[in-house]
Structure 1
Protein backbone atom coordinates (compact mmCIF):
# COMPACT_ATOMS: atom_id res chain seq x y z
CA UNK A 1 0.00 0.00 0.00
CA UNK A 2 2.75 2.36 0.83
CA UNK A 3 4.62 1.64 -2.45
CA UNK A 4 1.45 2.02 -4.55
CA UNK A 5 0.61 5.19 -2.81
CA UNK A 6 4.12 6.46 -3.44
CA UNK A 7 3.94 5.64 -7.17
CA UNK A 8 0.56 7.28 -7.45
CA UNK A 9 1.89 10.30 -5.69
CA UNK A 10 4.93 10.35 -7.95
CA UNK A 11 2.70 10.02 -11.05
CA UNK A 12 0.55 12.85 -9.89
CA UNK A 13 3.62 14.92 -9.23
CA UNK A 14 4.98 14.18 -12.79
CA UNK A 15 1.65 14.96 -14.41
CA UNK A 16 1.47 18.23 -12.55
CA UNK A 17 5.06 18.99 -13.66
CA UNK A 18 4.20 18.17 -17.27
CA UNK A 19 1.21 20.43 -17.16
CA UNK A 20 3.42 23.22 -15.89
CA UNK A 21 6.10 22.68 -18.58
CA UNK A 22 3.67 22.69 -21.50
CA UNK A 23 3.20 20.51 -24.62
CA UNK A 24 6.72 21.09 -26.12
CA UNK A 25 8.47 19.59 -23.14
CA UNK A 26 6.19 16.58 -23.22
CA UNK A 27 6.94 15.97 -26.92
CA UNK A 28 10.70 16.09 -26.31
CA UNK A 29 10.40 13.68 -23.43
CA UNK A 30 8.30 11.28 -25.55
CA UNK A 31 10.85 11.48 -28.37
CA UNK A 32 13.68 10.61 -25.96
CA UNK A 33 11.67 7.66 -24.65
CA UNK A 34 11.05 6.42 -28.21
CA UNK A 35 14.76 6.73 -29.06
CA UNK A 36 15.71 4.84 -25.88
CA UNK A 37 13.28 2.02 -26.69
CA UNK A 38 14.59 1.87 -30.33
CA UNK A 39 18.16 1.45 -29.10
CA UNK A 40 17.28 -1.34 -26.71
CA UNK A 41 14.99 -3.12 -29.20
CA UNK A 42 16.66 -6.22 -30.82
CA UNK A 43 17.41 -5.80 -34.61
CA UNK A 44 16.09 -8.18 -37.19
CA UNK A 45 18.44 -10.07 -39.56
CA UNK A 46 19.82 -7.80 -42.31
CA UNK A 47 18.84 -4.59 -40.53
CA UNK A 48 21.63 -2.00 -40.48
CA UNK A 49 22.72 -0.25 -37.32
CA UNK A 50 22.27 3.50 -37.55
CA UNK A 51 25.64 5.21 -37.94
CA UNK A 52 26.86 8.38 -36.40
CA UNK A 53 26.97 10.11 -39.77
CA UNK A 54 23.37 9.20 -40.61
CA UNK A 55 21.05 12.12 -40.91
CA UNK A 56 17.36 12.24 -41.33
CA UNK A 57 15.52 13.38 -44.38
CA UNK A 58 15.01 16.79 -42.83
CA UNK A 59 18.63 17.24 -41.79
CA UNK A 60 20.42 20.19 -43.37
CA UNK A 61 22.64 19.36 -46.43
CA UNK A 62 26.35 20.09 -46.27
CA UNK A 63 28.65 20.78 -49.28
CA UNK A 64 30.97 17.89 -50.15
CA UNK A 65 34.62 18.64 -50.27
CA UNK A 66 36.17 18.85 -53.80
CA UNK A 67 39.69 17.89 -54.81
CA UNK A 68 41.75 17.75 -58.11
CA UNK A 69 43.77 14.98 -59.76
CA UNK A 70 46.90 13.75 -58.10
CA UNK A 71 50.28 13.71 -59.87
CA UNK A 72 50.15 9.94 -60.33
CA UNK A 73 46.71 10.17 -61.92
CA UNK A 74 47.96 12.86 -64.32
CA UNK A 75 51.01 10.78 -65.26
CA UNK A 76 48.88 7.70 -65.86
CA UNK A 77 46.51 9.73 -68.05
CA UNK A 78 49.40 11.16 -70.07
CA UNK A 79 50.91 7.70 -70.51
CA UNK A 80 47.62 6.23 -71.75
CA UNK A 81 47.17 9.16 -74.16
CA UNK A 82 50.70 8.73 -75.51
CA UNK A 83 50.15 5.01 -76.03
CA UNK A 84 46.91 5.65 -77.91
CA UNK A 85 48.60 8.26 -80.13
CA UNK A 86 51.46 5.84 -80.87
CA UNK A 87 49.03 3.07 -81.81
CA UNK A 88 47.05 5.43 -84.05
CA UNK A 89 50.19 6.75 -85.75
CA UNK A 90 51.45 3.23 -86.37
CA UNK A 91 48.11 2.22 -87.87
CA UNK A 92 48.05 5.25 -90.18
CA UNK A 93 51.64 4.59 -91.26
CA UNK A 94 50.82 0.96 -92.03
CA UNK A 95 47.76 1.98 -94.05
CA UNK A 96 49.81 4.50 -96.06
CA UNK A 97 52.53 1.92 -96.72
CA UNK A 98 50.01 -0.71 -97.82
CA UNK A 99 48.34 1.80 -100.10
CA UNK A 100 51.68 2.70 -101.71
CA UNK A 101 52.52 -0.98 -102.22
CA UNK A 102 49.13 -1.60 -103.82
CA UNK A 103 49.61 1.37 -106.16
CA UNK A 104 53.08 0.17 -107.14
CA UNK A 105 51.76 -3.34 -107.77
CA UNK A 106 48.91 -2.03 -109.90
CA UNK A 107 51.32 0.13 -111.91
CA UNK A 108 53.67 -2.81 -112.43
CA UNK A 109 50.84 -5.08 -113.56
CA UNK A 110 49.54 -2.42 -115.93
CA UNK A 111 52.99 -1.96 -117.48
CA UNK A 112 53.44 -5.73 -117.75
CA UNK A 113 50.12 -6.21 -119.56
CA UNK A 114 50.96 -3.36 -121.93
CA UNK A 115 54.45 -4.71 -122.71
CA UNK A 116 53.16 -8.24 -123.37
CA UNK A 117 50.35 -6.93 -125.57
CA UNK A 118 52.67 -4.74 -127.67
CA UNK A 119 55.27 -7.50 -128.04
CA UNK A 120 52.65 -10.04 -129.10
CA UNK A 121 51.18 -7.58 -131.61
CA UNK A 122 54.57 -6.78 -133.16
CA UNK A 123 55.58 -10.43 -133.46
CA UNK A 124 52.19 -11.42 -134.84
CA UNK A 125 52.50 -8.75 -137.57
CA UNK A 126 56.00 -9.82 -138.69
CA UNK A 127 56.55 -8.99 -142.39
CA UNK A 128 59.26 -10.50 -144.69
CA UNK A 129 60.53 -7.13 -145.94
CA UNK A 130 64.28 -6.51 -145.37
CA UNK A 131 65.57 -2.95 -145.02
CA UNK A 132 68.55 -0.94 -146.21
CA UNK A 133 70.94 0.94 -143.97
CA UNK A 134 71.30 4.73 -143.82
CA UNK A 135 73.64 4.75 -146.82
CA UNK A 136 71.37 2.51 -148.89
CA UNK A 137 73.96 -0.20 -149.45
CA UNK A 138 73.49 -3.07 -146.99
CA UNK A 139 70.32 -5.01 -146.44
CA UNK A 140 69.23 -5.94 -142.93
CA UNK A 141 67.03 -9.04 -142.51
CA UNK A 142 63.33 -8.67 -141.94
CA UNK A 143 63.93 -10.24 -138.53
CA UNK A 144 67.29 -9.92 -136.84
CA UNK A 145 68.01 -11.33 -133.38
CA UNK A 146 71.22 -10.91 -131.43
CA UNK A 147 70.95 -12.68 -128.06
CA UNK A 148 72.97 -11.32 -125.16
CA UNK A 149 72.89 -7.71 -126.42
CA UNK A 150 70.99 -4.66 -125.21
CA UNK A 151 69.00 -4.70 -128.46
CA UNK A 152 67.79 -8.32 -128.63
CA UNK A 153 65.48 -8.01 -131.63
CA UNK A 154 64.61 -5.85 -134.64
CA UNK A 155 61.87 -6.59 -137.13
CA UNK A 156 59.67 -5.29 -139.90
CA UNK A 157 56.01 -5.31 -139.02
CA UNK A 158 52.85 -4.51 -140.93
CA UNK A 159 49.35 -3.67 -139.89
CA UNK A 160 49.74 0.07 -139.52
CA UNK A 161 46.51 1.87 -140.33
CA UNK A 162 46.74 4.18 -143.36
CA UNK A 163 44.30 6.69 -144.78
CA UNK A 164 43.71 7.75 -148.35
CA UNK A 165 44.87 11.31 -147.60
CA UNK A 166 48.34 10.13 -146.50
CA UNK A 167 50.45 8.17 -148.94
CA UNK A 168 52.51 6.16 -146.49
CA UNK A 169 53.36 2.52 -146.15
CA UNK A 170 51.66 0.24 -143.68
CA UNK A 171 55.07 -1.21 -142.74
CA UNK A 172 57.25 -0.07 -139.86
CA UNK A 173 60.64 -0.96 -138.47
CA UNK A 174 60.58 -1.82 -134.78
CA UNK A 175 63.45 -2.47 -132.38
CA UNK A 176 63.52 -3.27 -128.68
CA UNK A 177 66.20 -2.11 -126.27
CA UNK A 178 66.93 -2.83 -122.59
CA UNK A 179 68.06 0.52 -121.19
CA UNK A 180 68.74 0.97 -117.47
CA UNK A 181 66.27 -1.74 -116.45
CA UNK A 182 63.60 -0.36 -118.78
CA UNK A 183 62.13 -1.98 -121.87
CA UNK A 184 62.15 0.65 -124.63
CA UNK A 185 60.47 0.31 -128.02
CA UNK A 186 61.79 2.27 -131.02
CA UNK A 187 59.69 2.72 -134.15
CA UNK A 188 60.84 4.15 -137.48
CA UNK A 189 58.04 5.36 -139.74
CA UNK A 190 60.03 4.40 -142.87
CA UNK A 191 61.88 1.19 -143.62
CA UNK A 192 64.80 2.36 -145.76
CA UNK A 193 65.72 5.20 -143.48
CA UNK A 194 68.32 7.87 -144.04
CA UNK A 195 70.66 9.58 -141.61
CA UNK A 196 68.04 12.20 -140.79
CA UNK A 197 65.38 9.63 -139.94
CA UNK A 198 64.32 9.75 -136.31
CA UNK A 199 62.63 7.00 -134.35
CA UNK A 200 59.87 7.46 -131.82
CA UNK A 201 60.81 6.18 -128.38
CA UNK A 202 58.43 4.64 -125.85
CA UNK A 203 59.13 3.09 -122.46
CA UNK A 204 56.92 0.03 -122.11
CA UNK A 205 57.99 -1.23 -118.70
CA UNK A 206 60.39 -0.62 -115.82
CA UNK A 207 62.25 -3.02 -113.52
CA UNK A 208 63.09 -5.38 -116.39
CA UNK A 209 65.93 -7.85 -115.91
CA UNK A 210 66.05 -9.33 -119.38
CA UNK A 211 64.09 -10.09 -122.55
CA UNK A 212 64.88 -13.42 -124.22
CA UNK A 213 63.66 -14.86 -127.53
CA UNK A 214 63.59 -18.26 -129.17
CA UNK A 215 62.67 -18.98 -132.80
CA UNK A 216 61.14 -22.14 -134.26
CA UNK A 217 62.59 -22.88 -137.71
CA UNK A 218 61.11 -24.97 -140.52
CA UNK A 219 62.77 -28.13 -139.23
CA UNK A 220 61.04 -27.79 -135.86
CA UNK A 221 64.15 -26.76 -133.94
CA UNK A 222 64.27 -23.87 -131.49
CA UNK A 223 67.02 -21.31 -132.06
CA UNK A 224 68.21 -18.32 -130.03
CA UNK A 225 69.51 -16.37 -133.08
CA UNK A 226 67.96 -15.39 -136.40
CA UNK A 227 68.21 -15.75 -139.37
CA UNK A 228 69.63 -19.28 -139.53
CA UNK A 229 72.65 -20.06 -141.67
CA UNK A 230 71.83 -20.06 -145.41
CA UNK A 231 71.23 -23.35 -147.12
CA UNK A 232 73.00 -24.37 -150.30
CA UNK A 233 71.78 -22.55 -153.38
CA UNK A 234 69.74 -19.99 -151.39
CA UNK A 235 70.15 -16.36 -152.40
CA UNK A 236 71.05 -13.67 -149.91
CA UNK A 237 67.80 -11.77 -150.34
CA UNK A 238 65.80 -14.97 -149.80
CA UNK A 239 67.76 -15.61 -146.63
CA UNK A 240 66.93 -12.11 -145.36
CA UNK A 241 63.23 -12.64 -145.97
CA UNK A 242 62.92 -15.92 -144.10
CA UNK A 243 60.65 -15.97 -141.06
CA UNK A 244 60.28 -18.46 -138.21
CA UNK A 245 57.17 -20.52 -137.68
CA UNK A 246 56.75 -19.25 -134.11
CA UNK A 247 58.53 -16.93 -131.68
CA UNK A 248 58.76 -17.45 -127.94
CA UNK A 249 59.65 -14.51 -125.71
CA UNK A 250 60.40 -14.53 -121.98
CA UNK A 251 60.14 -11.25 -120.11
CA UNK A 252 61.85 -11.39 -116.71
CA UNK A 253 60.93 -8.61 -114.26
CA UNK A 254 61.91 -7.71 -110.72
CA UNK A 255 58.42 -7.78 -109.20
CA UNK A 256 56.44 -10.24 -111.34
CA UNK A 257 59.08 -12.81 -112.22
CA UNK A 258 59.20 -14.45 -115.65
CA UNK A 259 56.39 -14.11 -118.20
CA UNK A 260 56.54 -16.44 -121.21
CA UNK A 261 54.47 -16.30 -124.40
CA UNK A 262 54.58 -18.17 -127.72
CA UNK A 263 53.37 -16.25 -130.78
CA UNK A 264 52.58 -17.95 -134.08
CA UNK A 265 54.00 -16.08 -137.07
CA UNK A 266 51.64 -15.81 -140.06
CA UNK A 267 52.99 -17.28 -143.31
Structure 2
Protein backbone atom coordinates (compact mmCIF):
# COMPACT_ATOMS: atom_id res chain seq x y z
CA UNK A 1 0.00 0.00 0.00
CA UNK A 2 1.54 3.27 -1.10
CA UNK A 3 2.19 5.93 1.51
CA UNK A 4 0.05 9.04 1.23
CA UNK A 5 2.02 12.22 0.37
CA UNK A 6 1.27 15.27 2.53
CA UNK A 7 2.08 18.83 1.36
CA UNK A 8 0.72 22.29 0.70
CA UNK A 9 -1.62 22.96 -2.12
CA UNK A 10 -1.10 25.93 -4.41
CA UNK A 11 -4.02 27.72 -2.81
CA UNK A 12 -2.51 27.28 0.67
CA UNK A 13 0.84 28.63 -0.52
CA UNK A 14 -0.77 31.64 -2.16
CA UNK A 15 -2.85 32.31 0.95
CA UNK A 16 0.27 32.14 3.16
CA UNK A 17 2.09 34.54 0.84
CA UNK A 18 -0.85 36.93 0.91
CA UNK A 19 -0.93 36.90 4.72
CA UNK A 20 2.84 37.44 4.82
CA UNK A 21 2.52 40.38 2.42
CA UNK A 22 -0.17 41.96 4.63
CA UNK A 23 1.99 41.51 7.74
CA UNK A 24 5.07 42.98 6.04
CA UNK A 25 3.07 45.96 4.70
CA UNK A 26 1.50 46.64 8.09
CA UNK A 27 4.89 46.38 9.80
CA UNK A 28 6.41 48.78 7.27
CA UNK A 29 3.58 51.28 7.79
CA UNK A 30 3.95 51.10 11.57
CA UNK A 31 7.72 51.57 11.31
CA UNK A 32 7.29 54.46 8.87
CA UNK A 33 4.71 56.13 11.14
CA UNK A 34 7.01 55.69 14.13
CA UNK A 35 9.96 57.24 12.30
CA UNK A 36 7.81 60.15 11.09
CA UNK A 37 6.53 60.73 14.61
CA UNK A 38 10.08 60.68 15.98
CA UNK A 39 11.22 63.15 13.31
CA UNK A 40 8.27 65.46 13.98
CA UNK A 41 8.95 65.25 17.71
CA UNK A 42 12.65 66.02 17.20
CA UNK A 43 11.77 69.01 14.98
CA UNK A 44 9.29 70.30 17.58
CA UNK A 45 11.85 69.93 20.36
CA UNK A 46 14.46 71.76 18.26
CA UNK A 47 11.91 74.52 17.56
CA UNK A 48 11.10 74.89 21.25
CA UNK A 49 14.79 74.96 22.16
CA UNK A 50 15.37 77.63 19.51
CA UNK A 51 12.57 79.78 20.94
CA UNK A 52 13.86 79.32 24.49
CA UNK A 53 17.36 80.37 23.40
CA UNK A 54 15.98 83.37 21.52
CA UNK A 55 13.89 84.66 24.41
CA UNK A 56 16.65 83.98 26.93
CA UNK A 57 19.09 86.10 24.89
CA UNK A 58 16.51 88.86 24.43
CA UNK A 59 15.75 88.87 28.14
CA UNK A 60 19.44 89.25 28.99
CA UNK A 61 19.95 91.99 26.40
CA UNK A 62 16.87 94.09 27.13
CA UNK A 63 17.32 93.67 30.87
CA UNK A 64 20.78 95.24 30.64
CA UNK A 65 20.14 97.89 28.00
CA UNK A 66 21.96 101.09 28.90
CA UNK A 67 21.83 104.80 28.05
CA UNK A 68 24.78 104.84 25.69
CA UNK A 69 24.80 106.72 22.41
CA UNK A 70 26.58 105.13 19.46
CA UNK A 71 28.79 107.03 17.04
CA UNK A 72 28.61 106.24 13.33
CA UNK A 73 31.46 106.22 10.82
CA UNK A 74 31.28 110.01 10.53
CA UNK A 75 31.70 110.37 14.29
CA UNK A 76 28.14 111.58 14.88
CA UNK A 77 26.19 110.27 17.86
CA UNK A 78 22.86 108.55 17.38
CA UNK A 79 19.88 110.70 18.47
CA UNK A 80 18.38 107.90 20.61
CA UNK A 81 19.57 105.02 22.74
CA UNK A 82 17.52 102.57 20.67
CA UNK A 83 17.76 102.34 16.89
CA UNK A 84 14.57 100.74 15.61
CA UNK A 85 12.40 100.62 12.54
CA UNK A 86 10.83 98.49 9.85
CA UNK A 87 13.69 97.14 7.67
CA UNK A 88 16.29 98.67 10.00
CA UNK A 89 19.68 96.88 9.81
CA UNK A 90 18.58 95.50 6.41
CA UNK A 91 16.04 93.33 8.20
CA UNK A 92 13.11 91.77 6.32
CA UNK A 93 10.86 92.97 9.13
CA UNK A 94 11.60 95.05 12.24
CA UNK A 95 15.22 95.61 13.18
CA UNK A 96 16.55 96.91 16.48
CA UNK A 97 19.94 97.88 17.90
CA UNK A 98 21.12 99.23 21.24
CA UNK A 99 23.95 99.02 23.76
CA UNK A 100 23.85 96.67 26.73
CA UNK A 101 25.99 96.49 29.82
CA UNK A 102 27.35 93.46 31.65
CA UNK A 103 29.41 91.86 28.88
CA UNK A 104 31.78 90.03 31.17
CA UNK A 105 35.43 91.05 30.93
CA UNK A 106 37.13 89.77 34.10
CA UNK A 107 39.76 92.19 35.43
CA UNK A 108 39.93 93.78 31.96
CA UNK A 109 41.73 90.81 30.42
CA UNK A 110 40.27 91.52 26.96
CA UNK A 111 40.93 94.72 24.99
CA UNK A 112 37.33 95.90 25.23
CA UNK A 113 34.82 97.30 27.70
CA UNK A 114 31.87 95.54 29.30
CA UNK A 115 29.52 97.38 26.95
CA UNK A 116 28.28 95.58 23.87
CA UNK A 117 26.36 96.91 20.87
CA UNK A 118 23.73 94.31 20.00
CA UNK A 119 20.79 94.02 17.67
CA UNK A 120 18.20 91.72 16.16
CA UNK A 121 17.16 91.39 12.54
CA UNK A 122 15.77 88.86 10.06
CA UNK A 123 17.86 87.97 7.02
CA UNK A 124 16.74 85.24 4.58
CA UNK A 125 14.03 84.17 7.05
CA UNK A 126 16.66 83.66 9.77
CA UNK A 127 16.56 85.63 13.02
CA UNK A 128 20.03 86.94 13.73
CA UNK A 129 21.49 88.39 16.90
CA UNK A 130 24.23 90.76 15.80
CA UNK A 131 26.88 92.40 17.93
CA UNK A 132 30.04 94.44 17.78
CA UNK A 133 33.18 93.97 19.81
CA UNK A 134 33.49 97.74 20.01
CA UNK A 135 30.39 99.86 20.55
CA UNK A 136 31.02 102.61 18.01
CA UNK A 137 31.11 102.02 14.26
CA UNK A 138 34.11 104.18 13.47
CA UNK A 139 36.03 101.30 11.93
CA UNK A 140 33.20 100.57 9.48
CA UNK A 141 33.36 96.81 10.03
CA UNK A 142 30.30 94.63 9.64
CA UNK A 143 28.78 93.33 12.87
CA UNK A 144 29.16 89.69 13.80
CA UNK A 145 25.97 87.69 13.31
CA UNK A 146 24.63 84.61 15.05
CA UNK A 147 21.58 82.82 13.61
CA UNK A 148 19.35 81.87 16.52
CA UNK A 149 16.06 80.94 14.81
CA UNK A 150 14.95 79.73 11.39
CA UNK A 151 11.79 80.08 9.27
CA UNK A 152 10.80 83.48 10.66
CA UNK A 153 7.81 85.10 8.94
CA UNK A 154 7.48 88.23 11.07
CA UNK A 155 9.26 90.12 13.83
CA UNK A 156 7.87 93.18 15.59
CA UNK A 157 9.02 95.30 18.54
CA UNK A 158 6.81 97.60 20.61
CA UNK A 159 7.78 99.91 23.47
CA UNK A 160 6.06 100.87 26.72
CA UNK A 161 6.43 104.56 27.55
CA UNK A 162 6.29 106.27 30.94
CA UNK A 163 2.51 106.68 30.58
CA UNK A 164 2.19 102.89 30.25
CA UNK A 165 1.14 103.20 26.61
CA UNK A 166 2.55 100.97 23.89
CA UNK A 167 4.38 102.66 21.01
CA UNK A 168 5.11 101.05 17.65
CA UNK A 169 8.38 102.96 17.39
CA UNK A 170 10.77 104.57 19.86
CA UNK A 171 12.25 108.01 19.24
CA UNK A 172 12.51 109.35 22.80
CA UNK A 173 15.88 110.16 24.33
CA UNK A 174 15.12 107.75 27.17
CA UNK A 175 14.66 104.04 27.74
CA UNK A 176 11.23 102.41 27.50
CA UNK A 177 9.89 100.69 30.58
CA UNK A 178 9.47 97.43 28.64
CA UNK A 179 9.82 95.95 25.16
CA UNK A 180 7.18 93.67 23.68
CA UNK A 181 8.36 91.25 21.01
CA UNK A 182 6.03 89.47 18.59
CA UNK A 183 7.63 86.64 16.66
CA UNK A 184 6.05 84.33 14.10
CA UNK A 185 7.56 81.27 12.47
CA UNK A 186 6.32 79.40 9.43
CA UNK A 187 3.21 77.27 10.09
CA UNK A 188 2.98 78.62 13.65
CA UNK A 189 0.90 81.18 15.50
CA UNK A 190 2.53 84.46 16.59
CA UNK A 191 4.26 84.37 19.98
CA UNK A 192 4.47 87.51 22.11
CA UNK A 193 6.88 88.05 25.00
CA UNK A 194 7.40 91.08 27.24
CA UNK A 195 10.84 92.07 28.51
CA UNK A 196 11.49 94.61 31.24
CA UNK A 197 14.27 97.14 30.81
CA UNK A 198 16.15 99.19 33.43
CA UNK A 199 14.00 102.14 32.27
CA UNK A 200 14.08 104.80 34.98
CA UNK A 201 15.50 102.33 37.43
CA UNK A 202 12.12 101.28 38.80
CA UNK A 203 10.88 97.72 38.51
CA UNK A 204 7.16 97.62 37.74
CA UNK A 205 6.00 94.17 38.79
CA UNK A 206 2.56 94.68 37.23
CA UNK A 207 4.25 94.67 33.81
CA UNK A 208 5.40 91.09 34.17
CA UNK A 209 3.65 88.70 31.75
User: Corresponding residue for 1:162?
Assistant: 105
Following the alignment from structure 1 to structure 2, what is the Cα–Cα distance between the partners of residues 100 and 87? 20
Q: TM-score, normalised by structure 2?
A: 0.85
Task: Report the secondary structure of 2:97's partner residue.
Answer: strand
Q: 135-144 vs 117-126, which deviates more?
A: 135-144
Indicate conservation of the 8 Å contact 2:69/2:77, yes or no.
no
Residue 135 of structure 1 pairs with residue 135 of structure 2: no
Gaps of 5+ in 2: 202-209
Task: Report the secondary structure of 1:214's partner residue.
Answer: strand
Residue 210 of structure 1 pairs with residue 160 of structure 2: no
Q: How many residues in Structure 1 have an aligned counterpart in Structure 2?
A: 194
Q: 1:140 and 1:66, CA in 2 relative to 1: closer, same or farther beyond 3 A?
A: farther
User: Corresponding residue for 1:233?
Assistant: none
Q: What is the Cα deviation at residue 99 of structure 1?
A: 0.7
Q: What is the Cα deviation at residue 262 of structure 1?
A: 1.6
Q: What is the Cα deviation at residue 91 of structure 1?
A: 0.8
Residue 185 of structure 1 pairs with residue 129 of structure 2: yes
Out of 121, 145, 163, which is 2:84 matched to? 145
Which digits, 9 at most, give the CA deviation of each residue in 1:40-92, with x for residues without a partner? xxxxxxxxxxxxxxxxxxxxxx7741232211111111111111111111111
Indicate conservation of the 8 Å contact 2:156/2:183, yes or no.
yes
Out of 5, 27, 36, which is 1:88 matched to? 27
Out of 172, 176, 179, which is 1:247 matched to? 179
Q: 197-206 vs 80-89, which deviates more?
A: 197-206
User: Corresponding residue for 1:260?
Assistant: 192
Out of 45, 50, 59, which is 1:120 matched to? 59
Q: TM-score, normalised by structure 1?
A: 0.67
Task: Report the secondary structure of 2:106's partner residue.
Answer: coil
Indicate conservation of the 8 Å contact 2:97/2:119, yes or no.
yes
Say what the alpha-carbon RMSD is for the aligned residues: 1.9
Larger strand proportion, structure 1 or 2? 2
Task: Report the secondary structure of 1:153's partner residue.
Answer: strand
Indicate conservation of the 8 Å contact 2:99/2:117, yes or no.
yes
Indicate conservation of the 8 Å contact 1:247/1:263, yes or no.
yes
Detail structure 1 runs of 4+ shifted over 6 Å in the superposition. none
Which digits, 9 at most, give the CA deviation of each residue in 1:12-46, with x for residues without a partner? xxxxxxxxxxxxxxxxxxxxxxxxxxxxxxxxxxx
Which digits, 9 at most, give the CA deviation of each residue in 1:95-141, with x for residues without a partner? 11111101101100100100011111111111110101123134353
Following the alignment from structure 1 to structure 2, what is the Cα–Cα distance between the partners of residues 106 and 220? 36
